[in-house]
Amino acid sequence: MNVPDKHTLLIDHLLELAEDTVLNLTRDRLSAGEDPLEIIEDAQGAMRLVGERYEQGEYFISSMMMAGEIFREVMEIVEPFLVKQMTGNESGHILLGTVQGDIHDIGKNIFETLLRSHGFTVTDLGVDVPPAQFMEEALRLKPDMLAFSGLLTVSYDSMKETIGRIKKLEDQSVARTPLIIGGGMVNAMVCAHVGADYWATDAMVGVQLCKQIIKERK
């Protein structure tokens, strides 16, 4: 009989929405000294499959909500290990939020945790953030970078509107702030369509990009 490996185990149990087992597996893997990012990657892979099952009508929205809740609990367990493992002293202020019409925030929150653990200052505006609020906060805070999260296809319209309005600001120091977008389905085409400068589908890649961009501008 084939024994499933640790990755398959976590993914399968998350797919079965077996909350306690997933949380115990997470704790066990961390106690064994595993890289917390690997656990997040497995859970993220499981969420992709949850999304596919929802799309195919195999799961109801309630299952997607439950999976989201389990992921949030996994993150609660993983976060202290993540912060302990990664300590950086980057300087730079990043204004972040999920764009209007979209309430997905699990990925955004991971990106925020990783940014903070690398030493960045982050202002998180939360979810469903209207373009006007992004603009006002950008003018008030003058961050080094603006970061938008969005998982829905319709959220690309909000990204485009927000970015369009920011680029038209009279205050050039804000209008020229580098912009990065992220979320499971963004790509180079979406980036060009919404007028952003950079994109990432992986939070760690996003952090590396922020490091590089801010360093080059200082």
Q: Rule CB under 6 A: which residues touch ligand B12? A: 44, 47-48, 50-52, 54-55, 61, 64-65, 67-68, 71, 101-108, 110-111, 147-149, 151-153, 180-184, 200-203, 206
What's the Cα-to-Cα distance from 189 to each of 76, 178, 181, 194, 204, rounded to whole Å? 34, 18, 12, 9, 21
Residue 32 Cβ vs ligand B12, minimum distance, rounded to whole Å: 22
Nearest approach, Cβ of 162 to ligand B12 (angstroms)? 13
Q: Report the residue number, 2 or 162, with the smaller CB distance to ligand B12.
A: 162
**Cβ distance to ligand B12 smaller for residue 170 or 212:** 212
Q: Which is nearer to ligand B12, 68 or 119 (CB)?
A: 68
Q: How far is the CB of 119 from ligand B12 (least distance, A)?
A: 17
**Nearer to ligand B12 by C-beta: 62 or 172?**
62
| Closest CB 131 distance from ligand B12, rounded Å | 16
